[in-house]
Structure 1
Amino acid sequence: MIWQLFSDGPSPHFPAPSYWLMALEQLWKNGQIQFAIKETFWIFGIGLILSTTLGFSLGIIIGVNRKFREWTTYSFESFRAIPPPVVIPIAVLLMGYSDSMKIVVIVFATIWPILLNVVSSIDNMHSGLVDMGKALHLSQKQLIFKVVIPSVIPNAIIGIRVTIPLAIVITLLTEMLTGSNGLGGIMIAGQRNYNSSQVYGVLVIVGILGLFINLASNYLEKYFTKSWPPKQQL
């Protein structure tokens, strides 16, 4: 509201919010914004599902094997430190400007919080739980599914919560750097054409979608952890 009142109108740098709406209306009439939202959500969703599945599965496999865990710790920390923008040019050279390239970059950048959280959770798991499983003569498979996995799920969910905003950022980044048809592509096109109203308008859409995704993740977290004991308040 304050921005609208004190704005000079169609400024090339800080246009009034009313001009953002006009730019979004034009994109809506052209069908660009609907297609861009669908494209961004599709890439984001597939990337998040794959990074969650692979991160959790690999975390369990590595976590239950102490020697394997010791061998891979420093390698994973090194891969985690690689900035995602550095990976994009290499991925483009290997896979071209394709959806699969974007998904690979998203998975590479977002798998680490989940994987390392699961490995750390297994490493710090109370030894009494494992001893109890052995006392009950559980097989290795039963021990993993009945003891290990239920114990690491809360920490895995924390890793997923960290991954979600990171996945959104990486999705938009890949779209900007590759000039694709997603929301990131529309933003970079507006920047190149000096259409600042379009950039700000799409940024608002990204914020609203990010809020929706965050609320949905909060609901899913409460749903999947409702059988766990409540967190103690300090």
Structure 2
Amino acid sequence: MSTDITPHDGERHDSGVGNRLNWLRAGVLGANDGIVSVASLVVGVAGATTDTPALLTAGLAGLVGGAVSMALGEYVSVSSQRDSERALIAKERQELAEMPEQEFDELVGLYRARGLSEATAQKVAEELTARDALAAHLEVELHIDQDDLVNPWHAAFSSAVAFVIGALLPLLAILLPPPAWRVPVTFLAVIVALALTGTISARFGGSSKRRSALRLVLGGTLALLATWLLGTLLGATVG
């Protein structure tokens, strides 16, 4: 292997902190999906009928179906990520067994690229290689901890829970008020919730909080208006 410090093709560079922030961001986005999808569903039904059982059935169907869909999607996605990480670990283990000297030179080069002197990089590489060569290469080259790989079951459960938490807000907002207030209260609750999730998401991503919140509020409001108008038209047609 060349001593070029360019990472292997297909190798990932997520740090442990980055992974944790991604989980938090995914939770916020999952809750946001629950808010928008279930709110759009129940507001659309409310445009067609004021029948409470119909609203409850539609809301619960959207909540359960959405949570299952989110969990399955996250499970498949994270399973693929874990398989990729395991393949990279196996590849690095094989390279260390077949070409230890080249891998050592690569490790030294990576530490030099981080600003260490040649002597210090050599010393650090020697000590880490003596302790656990594979762990050293995984950390520096791939930012992977072989003892802390992503768990698809945790991801699926977290995604489903986040969706359910978000979905409960519009479901309660459409069911608890008197019929005349159901749609306005749901609109207001969703707008506030989307502004909050947009602000939190922007904080994790380091982007503009105002822009992120406004984007979500506008998108969610348009979705609610579209489904409410559709439900109103269908309700009038059927009636």
Q: Which has the larger radius of gyration?
A: 2
With the length of structure 1 as denominator, give the TM-score of the two structures: 0.32
